Amino acid sequence: MDIEQISKSGHRKGQYNLNDYGARYAQFSWQQAEQMLKGLPGGINIAYEAADRHVDEGFGLQTAIRWLSKSGQKRDISYQQLTEQAARFASVLDRLNIVVGDTVFGLCGRVPQLYFAVLGSLRLGAVFSPLFSAFGPEPVRARMEIGKARVLVTSHALYKKKVLPWREQMPGLRHVLLYGIKGELPENCIDLDSAMVEADPDFPVRVCDHEQLALLHFTSGTTGKPKGVMHVHGAVAYHKISGYFALDLRADDVFWCTADPGWVTGTSYGIISPLCNRTTLIVDEQEFDPEHWYQVLAEQNVSIWYTAPTAIRMLMKAGVELIKHQDLSALRFMASVGEPLNPEAVRWSQQVFGMPFHDNWWQSETGGIMIANFASEPVRPGSMGQPMPGITAAIVARQDDGHITPIFANNQVGELALKPGWPSMFRGYLNEQARYEKCFVDDWYLSGDLAMRDDDGYYWFVGRADDVIKSSGHLIGPFEVESVLMEHPAVAEVGVIGVPDETAGALVKAYVALKPGNEPDNDLKQALMAHARKRLGAAVAPREILFRQNLPKTRSGKIMRRLLKARELGLPEGDISTLESDES
């Protein structure tokens, strides 16, 4: 375990939202989180906390969203304008006889209409479900069928390509609202932009119960049909406070979350949390490009940046020359999400930016960040960090009788478990109560992730329970091996799997993609093997290394170890498709 500590972020001493972590953790209560909300008489509404509240408090002219289009145009949307556009969208739904509990799906890129649709749906009391715009027709259809879609918001181009072929086979889909119409409006569709002009900008916010369903996120899982993860309006208390504590968000920040809005991160921390904390949210329509990203950071004076390990590795691969002429002096905090962040990436960021990326851990089911490297605390490269105030975490072992036993000793591998009760905890899998109940044993939520806790209370990711390699009696986490290989200056990405072996049970095999300018020859292979044996020991180091130009990834950029393993085992394509990792 690497327990090297990296310096804190770019604050002056004492200027953190979460000072004195130990004391704040011990004294925290959920009442404190609720007190950060303004609320409504008799209830709550996420949309109100994200937009209307700031207008009511006199901040309507502050920029809520700065949209950067693909063509290079910039559009600033104030909190007043955001509130009015959300009201107009709610009015459009109301005129279409959409009622509380109906589900609105969004198949959108990073465009203003998406943000109006999310807040407008919640404002009305409808349920909003985001879809990844890079999905093919079948994943889109499957999720909309499971979620009983009543309304779809999408672009003209996406509709023609991904929805039109099967639209008539889903009679429950009552309305399709299209933006970006080019040419003739398709049959049985509504011009959203025109409808918004005619809608009511003062449509009132509906007062919702804390337990009223608000968001439906789909997570692919490893097999079977997608799971619909249900979250309620009361989750907004956690959205707000977790952004405040874990991301150090403040009202004067310019915040950029690069997550695609089709995933849970793009909703929880790409929309709700930053708006509730009254930041200015950067929304960049363009796809990833290292030079462009550095320009956005500099030109928009981004102060807090939340991105993914995949993007960080790609920035590392692009080299440091691109950053040398950019003024990033506004940047004060950087965080990572989506999959564990390799220690080498943390060290690289400290060297290049003068501050580290702060990794954190959560799942679609948790609805928000559970464990984090906080701005006020030292960062330990490779660690997930420490539990959020209000979150009780533990390492547990499953017993043969179905119960679990907490592992009190530190530095022992077990399953990461959380004590239920935080506001953004999922309330179920849609139409799958038995599956939901299996997530809870002895009053603990079982994450399915293996981890360990060190002597100072930092948690370390080991791997998914079904990804861990059992070799000659050793439990080997793929992430640990990948992180060590990533330390080598020639390595860009790594995927590690276990392959069957009659004697050891399984052997560690690594697939490696190299940075430009490096030759995949035997000398480099031997150097990598020697480096791994030195750092990990012969029992844990890979027995075989194969070079690949590219490694298979999910649509959201995670390396698919299961697809590597399926190909290693020679499974047919039909079986490989069921082995894709969770894309959320």
- Round the average pLDDT of the chain to a whole number and report it: 90
Confidence of residue 14 (pLDDT cuts 50, 70, 90): low
Question: Which tokens belong to 428?
Answer: 């179920």
> Distance between CA atoms of 81 and 69, rounded to whole angstroms?
18
Spatial contact of 558 and 310, defined as CB atoms under 8 Å apart: yes
Q: How many percent of the chain have pLDDT more than 90?
A: 76
- pLDDT tens column, 403-425: 999 999 999 999 999 999 999 99
103-112: average pLDDT = 97
Beta bridge partners of 63: 78
Strands 227-232 and 213-219: antiparallel
* Residue 540 clears pLDDT 90, i.e. is over it: no
DSSP string, 209-264: -TTSEEEEEEE--SSSSPEEEEEEGGGHHHHHHHHHHHS---TT-EEEE-S-TTSH
Strand, helix or coil at 336?
strand
Q: Which residues have CB under 8 Å from 53's CB, separation 6+?
A: 38
Amino acid letter for position 397 = A
Question: Which tokens belong to 154?
Answer: 């999408």
Say if residue 402 is exposed, middle or buried (CB neighbours under 10 Å; 0-12, 13-18, 19+). Answer: exposed
Q: What is the pLDDT of residue 5?
A: 57
Q: What is the pLDDT of residue 566?
A: 75
- pLDDT tens column, 301-322: 999 999 998 899 889 988 889 9
> Distance between CA atoms of 208 and 522, rounded to whole angstroms?
63
Beta bridge partners of 334: 305, 357
> Distance between CA atoms of 458 and 380, rounded to whole angstroms?
8
* Residue 12 clears pLDDT 60, i.e. is over it: no
Confidence of residue 464 (pLDDT cuts 50, 70, 90): confident
* Strand runs labelled E in 60-111: 63-68, 74-78, 103-107
19-47: average pLDDT = 95
Query: Domains along the chain?
Result: 21-453 (3.40.50.12780), 467-579 (3.30.300.30)
* Residue 158 clears pLDDT 50, i.e. is over it: yes
Rank 142-146, 269-273, 527-531, 542-546 by mean pLDDT and report only the highest: 269-273
* Residue 62 clears pLDDT 50, i.e. is over it: yes
* Residue 219 clears pLDDT 60, i.e. is over it: yes
Q: What is the pLDDT of residue 181?
A: 94
Confidence of residue 300 (pLDDT cuts 50, 70, 90): very high
